[in-house]
Amino acid sequence: MLLYAIRYFIIAGVVPPLFVGGFIVAVAAAAVRLTANPEAAIDALTPVLLLQLFVAGSGFRIGARRGHFDLLLTSGAPRWQIALAHCLVSLGPGMASWVCIGLLELAASHGSLSASFAAGTCAAFVASSIFAWGAAVYSSRTAAAIGWLLVMTIPSVARFLSPLRLLGATAGSLDTFAVIEVLWSAVLPLVVGVWCIVRGATPLEAAQ
């Protein structure tokens, strides 16, 4: 049933083709950049992470209330599998793009550089992606995008909350507070998001 749910969300267009095209362009640009300069991995990853913040917050409630997921919700599939499938499909393109750039960095540097897979980079992509998904389960992609824009453009807020500051950071350079912050920012929204899908009500919108 999990695979069925994943296929359903892919066909339903949880991640619109425009965003998938954006990731493809970002990876292609990263390939060109890393071929010329293998040390530019962080610069190549920055647009991918920013795009991921917007894409991962795909939202569940609005699509469910509009009846887009009725066939899946009435199929007998466990709600936790539906939640997991929605999360995986929402995060998939961005995570795949990150891995591709990491492999390109390794190839371009002949294995001598791996900033794409540093502890801070992994924490930035995994934690922020899960946070973006969980925070937007009962919201919309537009609302989530506005929130991320505010986080990124207010210096005093970005200094503490922007995941961009973690890109390329090694395990030794991350203090205890940063590690705890990353762990909680990943776990809590995931739990809340799954709980909302499993236990929350999603009544259909009234016809206009």
Whole-structure pTM value: 0.88
Calculated CA dihedral for residues 18, 20, 22, 24, nearest 10 degrees:
-140
Domain limits of the chain?
2-199
Instruction: Give, for all 208 residues of the chain, the pLDDT tens digit.
Output: 889 999 999 999 999 999 999 999 999 999 999 999 999 999 999 999 999 999 999 989 888 888 888 889 888 889 999 999 999 999 999 999 999 999 999 999 999 989 999 988 998 899 889 989 988 888 878 888 888 888 888 888 887 778 888 898 887 776 656 666 666 777 888 888 888 888 877 766 654 4
Q: What does the alpha-carbon distance between residue 47 and residue 70 come to, in Å, rounded to a whole number?
A: 34
CB distance 9 to 53 below 8 Å = no
For residue 72, count other CB atoms closer than 10 A to its CB. Answer: 21
Q: What are phi and psi of 11, to 5 degrees?
A: -70, -35
Q: What is the DSSP letter of 60?
A: S
Task: Please tell me the predicted confidence (pLDDT) of residue 206.
Answer: 55
CB distance 58 to 141 below 8 Å = yes
Q: What are phi and psi of 118, to 5 degrees?
A: -65, 160
